[in-house]
Every structure is written in structure tokens, then in C-alpha cells.
Copies of this chain bind each other. A is one copy, B any other.
Amino acid sequence: MGDLMRRFWQPALLASELPAPDCPPVRVRLLGEDLVAFRDSDGRVGLLAEHCAHRGASLYFGRVEAGGLRCVYHGWKWDADGACLEMPNEPATSTFKDRVRQPAYATREKAGLIWAYLGPPGTAGDLPGMEWLGLPPDHLHVSKWILEANYLQGMEGEVDSAHISFLHTNYDLDSVGMGEDFGRVSNWRNDLAPALTVNETDYGFVYGSRRNYQDGRRYHWRLTHWLLPTYSLIPGTRWPIGGRCWVPIDDEHTWTFNYWYNADAPIPESDLAWIESGIQVPPVLIPGTFKPVRNKENDYQIDREAQRTRSYTGIYGGGTQDRAIVESMGPIYDRTKEHLVSTDVAVIAARRILLRAARDLQEGRAPGAAAGGSMYRARPVDVISEHAQLGAVLREHADEIQARTERSYLSLVAR
């Protein structure tokens, strides 16, 4: 599965972690590898193996100097591609520096993120063409935090529309800034057992969750995308569109990258305070870290009185509710103990597609979705419709969702 993950461009860190040319380097752990990222004098980002190829000193303590990152142990200087620019402890006549390379990965910078490709040289496709990658900075909010669990557990929460009827229920909706959308959000509690249908696509799938609407006549449909390997695009409540991706740090830790965006307008100043409050995502972080203040060591500051009276969980903030549940499963949940039901159909579909793609890669067939690009130009919607079938809703909103729906996908669980 790690080999499959490496065939996709993925966010590695926030661009703001490397704010300027020649700023201090930062540590980045991805897929079990310890790396160091730096921004050279020209603004280009390098992503190198953490330990210097000479004697293993950490390049995190290195000096970012004209054109490269210099190890402070013996002064070897590496450029963003891993070439050795200087080897000053060797005699001037030595050519050894031309024969040594520091392991390095390709990077790109877009949408406030540094993207990395960790796959074999020559196999990289394009960045995924999700529309938020092309937006002006003021239309977009990106953030990251640590999930102390396997990536899959986090990702599964994104294709599980049913849980919002429970986990994210706040009896006092005003307290979460849901005023204008009250009607639709409250519909989550109107129908607790949504019917899910998965429609496989080139990039993964679009799935629809259908709830009876509170007018007793129509349906409340949420059409959500899952894009390989771990992206989601989810229709907002207060926000037009958001989503997350889940980049493995290692088997038991995950970078959660979150993106909120409005394709049509800048984010109002007043909303930034709402975002930073932790009421939705991102969570409030411990300063100087990407670890949330509410975390498993303090039981996410659960308030049992609030749980009894105002909030389903007693845990403040939707993102923290998700994280609490996902981490509570333990670092890697033993899924042989699960008992899946009909609302888990999208979870099952995502697992099958990932496993199929991993097996295909083992047999020499690279994942088609790794080509990236315009294939990823999908948009989620949250609509009230008279249609009872996903196909009809997809047709009704075809322009808006822009999703390819070439293959039909039968419901996977029927007990």
C-alpha cells in the first residue's frame, strides 16, 4: 500500500512552514521516512533524506546557504535535487562530490502547500486537478494537524455520511455558527439511516447519501467525492466546499491536510475567526507544533455535562469529534472485529478500490488516477431533490458536480 501511495503527488507540508528563501529547514516525516525540507535562495523547495550521506548528521541542523542546504558537521552542501555542490573537507582535486547524491524527492508548490512525489523517478503524473488548487489565495484556507492513528481510519470518516447524524449533533445549533443553514443541518437528525449509493469513477468514486427531507416529500442528497488515494470533497454547511486528505507519517500517525474553499469569492475576514476558533476544523494547535490542544492525553477535554445537555459528544468542535473517535479505535484498528452495515457501503468501496489498485501495482499496472490533472475536477453538492435514485440526481446536477460516472457501482452490502 505504501508503494501505491508513492505513485500520487501528495501534500507534504504547508508552504508557510518555509516562509522565505534561505529560511531554516524543517523536519518532515512521510511514509515512514525522515526527511528535511528547505527553501533555497531562489525559493525552490528541496525535500531531502534527513541524514547526510556523509556520516549521517541530521540536515535539520544544517545551514541554508546560497543555493543549497549545508550539513554543519563537515560542510557538505546539497541542492534541492540532492546534488552535492560543495565538499569542502575533501582536497580541491577530489571529484568524489560528483559521485555522491543525497536522496531527494520532487516537489511542487501550489495552493499554499508543498506537494511531494515519493514514487520511482520518471513515474510522476500531474498534480490532482481539484479546483481549489487553482484558486487565488484569498479564496482558500489550508491547514494541517497530526492524527495519532493510521491514515485509513481518518479517511474512512470522510466517506461515512451517516455519522454526521450522530457524532456531530449539537442540540444547540447556534453555538456552532449554523444559523442560516439550520434547516438542512437539522435534517441530519430527521433521518438517521441514510441510503448510500456509490458510483465508481476514474478518480475514485462519487457517492450519494439520501435522507428523507423534513418536508416529508423530497430527499436530502449529499453527493460526496472520494479521490485516490485519500482525498475527499464534501459539501459544506456554512462553507461551500471542503475536504481533507490523509498523508501517512507512518503506520500509526497521519498528517491531516484540510482545505476550505469558495470557488467564487474571497473568504470574508469575519469567517477566519470562526475557522480559527476550532469549532469545525482546523483544531486549535499547541503553539509551535501541529498537535491539537484537545488530544487523547486529555480525553479531548470532554465535557460530560455538555454531553448530557447540549452536544452529542461533549467534545468541542466537529473536527475534534472526528479525531477523538478515530484515535479512540487505537493506532491501527483490528478490522476483523468490525460489523459493517448498509451505511458503511462507501467505506467498503474505498477499501476495495485501494486494495485492487495496490494489487494491480504489484502486478505492474500503475494506477490510472495517478495521472492526476483534470480528471480530479469534481465538486460535491448538498441538494434537496425529488429524485430517489442517485443516477437521476447526478444527471440533474451534472454540470455542477462535473464528475465522471462511466462505471456504475452496485451497492456492496446487502444484509
Interface residues of A (CB under 8 A from B): 24, 51, 53-58, 60-61, 63, 72-75, 87-92, 94, 96, 100, 156, 162-163, 165-167, 192-195, 299, 302, 304, 307, 312-313, 315, 321, 324-325, 328-330, 333-335, 337-344, 347, 415
> Nearest CB to that of A161 among chain B residues?
B89
Using Cβ atoms and an 8 Å threshold, which residues of chain B touch A55?
156, 329, 333, 338, 340, 344, 347
| CB-based contact B91/A342 at 8 Å | yes
| CB-based contact B51/A94 at 8 Å | no
| CB-based contact A61/B313 at 8 Å | yes
Known: A165-B89, A329-B55, A339-B54. A315 touches B61 (CB 8 A): yes
> Nearest CB to that of A95 among chain B residues?
B415
Q: How far is the CA of A167 from the CA of B341 in the complex (A)?
A: 59
| CB-based contact A342/B94 at 8 Å | yes
| CB-based contact A88/B192 at 8 Å | yes
Known: A73-B166, A75-B165, A307-B63. A57 touches B325 (CB 8 A): yes
| CB-based contact A61/B337 at 8 Å | no
Q: Which of B24, B61, B337 contacts A56 (CB 8 A)?
A: B337
Q: Which of B72, B94, B337 contacts A325 (CB 8 A)?
A: B72
Which of the listed residues A88, A194, A333, A341 has the most CB atoms from chain B within 10 Å of its own CB? A341
Q: Which of B87, B312, B341 contacts A54 (CB 8 A)?
A: B341
Q: How far is the CA of A166 from the CA of B71 in the complex (A)?
A: 9
Using Cβ atoms and an 8 Å threshold, which residues of chain B touch A90?
193, 341-343
Whole-angstrom distance between the Cβ of A164 and the nearest chain B Cβ: 10
**Apart from A51-B333, A73-B325, what are 10 other A-B pairs with CB-CB below 8 Å?**
A55-B329, A55-B338, A56-B329, A56-B330, A61-B313, A63-B307, A72-B312, A73-B167, A91-B193, A96-B339
Top 8 A-B pairs ranked by shortest CB distance? Answer: A58-B328, A56-B329, A88-B192, A75-B166, A56-B333, A24-B304, A89-B162, A57-B325
Known: A56-B330, A312-B72, A341-B94. A325 touches B61 (CB 8 A): yes
Using Cβ atoms and an 8 Å threshold, which residues of chain B touch A307?
24, 63
Q: How far is the CA of A54 from the CA of B337 in the complex (A)?
A: 8
Q: How far is the CA of A194 from the CA of B75 in the complex (A)?
A: 13
| CB-based contact B87/A341 at 8 Å | yes
14 residue pairs of the A-B complex, CB under 8 angstroms, read A51-B333, A54-B338, A54-B339, A54-B341, A56-B337, A61-B324, A61-B325, A63-B307, A72-B321, A73-B325, A74-B162, A74-B163, A88-B193, A91-B195
| CB-based contact B302/A61 at 8 Å | yes
Q: How far is the CA of A57 from the CA of B154 in the complex (A)?
A: 12
Q: How far is the CA of A84 from the CA of B134 in the complex (A)?
A: 48
Whole-angstrom distance between the Cβ of A374 and the nearest chain B Cβ: 34
Q: How far is the CA of A343 from the CA of B334 in the complex (A)?
A: 48
Using Cβ atoms and an 8 Å threshold, which residues of chain B touch A72?
166-167, 312-313, 321, 325
Whole-angstrom distance between the Cβ of A315 and the nearest chain B Cβ: 7
Using Cβ atoms and an 8 Å threshold, which residues of chain B touch A324?
61
Q: How far is the CA of A330 from the CA of B61 in the complex (A)?
A: 13
| CB-based contact B329/A163 at 8 Å | no
| CB-based contact A193/B92 at 8 Å | yes
Which of the listed residues A74, A167, A313, A324 has the most CB atoms from chain B within 10 Å of its own CB? A74
Q: How far is the CA of A90 from the CA of B90 in the complex (A)?
A: 70
> Nearest CB to that of A341 among chain B residues?
B90
| CB-based contact B337/A89 at 8 Å | no
| CB-based contact A74/B329 at 8 Å | no
Whole-angstrom distance between the Cβ of A48 and the nearest chain B Cβ: 13
Using Cβ atoms and an 8 Å threshold, which residues of chain B touch A53?
337-339
Q: How far is the CA of A304 from the CA of B341 in the complex (A)?
A: 54
